[in-house]
Amino acid sequence: MASNVIALIPHFDEVVLTDNNKLAARVAIPQTGDGFSSYMRGRLAEDLPLYVQRLDTHCAVSQHLAAVSALDRCYGASPPEKAVRIRRALAYAGVYYHHLEQLFLSRPSGDVGIAGLVTTDETLAPTDIFETLGRARDVIDILGGRGITPECGIAGGVTKGPTDDELPRAKDISSHLLEFALQAEKGFRGSGAIWVTEHDLSVPAYSLGTVNDVAEASLYDGALRIVDPEGTETAVGGTKEILPILLAWKEDLPLRVGPLARLNVGSGASTPQAKALQKYLFDALGEPPIDRVAAGHWAMVIELVESAELLVSALTTLETGDSVINSALNDPCEGIAAIEGASGTLLHHYVIDEQGIVQEARIVSPESLRATEVNAALSSAISDGASGVTEGVIEQIVSVIGSYQPAYVPSAAFPLRITLHDKGGKVAKEWRRP
């Protein structure tokens, strides 16, 4: 069923500066748990997977799958194996689409884009990038029932499987996606790697990510693991064990999520070619854990390869037809689930009454989890701006934000409000960009 829910795209659209003889910064993120809960309360639980993918359209597939995973638990449902395989393949296609969009259609800093860093391989023309993005969207359409914002996920399974015509096409596309990812990685390894090594802003942090049964980084499900800045495990377990730790985070250092965090928490990538390629990153920056902010882009390039490999493998296990793709539901109650979304660990928690109406809803998003790390990076980058907020300081702010979420720094200037607060907390000055 198509949905007419409006898009609620989170942005790092406000940076608050305080000046106590040394500038410090914090981001204001409008995507908050309380706001989401208020918006979802009183709605049909079955509509949640359609709503949440518009909460964060950059990670629409991840949001959709996290919602249906939480609904599985709300209804005590165990999806059939075929439905699990469809969801898993859809997750990998979603990660690929997200990373491709982030890397090539945005700027990781104020002056350069990843596409400009892939200079050693002339075959990666703009037309190749857009064609590949379209192909990734087509796979999401085949598996999810609609491109970019899927609608196939329901409690206990999925609504459709690939047809006899669709599955061979998806397999053929996935091979092209892998070929492109390998070309992009090879090209990035030239000037892109140099760019990463030249940008030395580092933020010591704990890392949170999902690992599989053999402790490799997972791009969908598994155990949640937290390691400290030295790589020592501090917590591991399921959603119920880790969520209270995240909600009451009391460590002195921030928490890192996303591609770089996934390299830090596990023993490395989970696929052969990605595992071999990550060696170049480790040779340049040292073994994990790595705390260099710019290294997140290199990790994302490697995950582009990994997600393509995983997609190719997942599609080989699928069969056509819609037989046994959903299971019976029990009485609704409370459910909580986590998946490893494209931009980081994503947790959904719902409370549903006997009529299937949402009583409470909470999303713990990668954006909210990484806020403390972004704040630390911003404060470190602008700490020398004691003489005032200059144009250079503003550009440093833009560059740091782009390092964490490149899509928020597109070629056209993204809306950004910067406010300087005095020692009493009052707004002393304000800048807007553009």
What's residue 4's pLDDT? Answer: 32
What is the per-residue pLDDT for 121? 45
Tell me the DSSP string of 375-393: HHHHHHHHTT-TT---HHH
Distance CA 162, CA 180 (A): 24
Instruction: Give pLDDT tens digits for 63-93.
Output: 999 999 999 999 999 999 999 999 999 999 9
**Domains and their CATH numbers in the chain:** 11-31+388-434 (no CATH), 32-364 (1.10.645.10)
Burial 212-221 (b: 16+ CB within 10 A, else e): beebbbbbbb
| pLDDT the model gives residue 39 | 81
Q: Please give the pLDDT value at position 182.
A: 94
Q: Tell me, what's the pLDDT at 13?
A: 54
Cα–Cα distance, 297 to 96 (Å, whole number): 14
pLDDT of residue 428: 77
In the prediction, which pLDDT does 105 show?
67
The answer to whether the CB of 19 falls within 8 A of the CB of 421 is: yes
**pLDDT of the residue at 6:** 31
pLDDT digits over 102-152, tens only?
887 665 444 445 555 554 445 567 778 889 999 999 999 999 988 888 889
Which residue stretches of the chain have pLDDT < 50?
1-12, 32, 108-112, 119-121, 408-413
Distance of CA 99 to the CA centre of its chain: 9
Name the nearest CA neighbour of 38 among 422, 361, 365.
361
pLDDT value, residue 34:
60
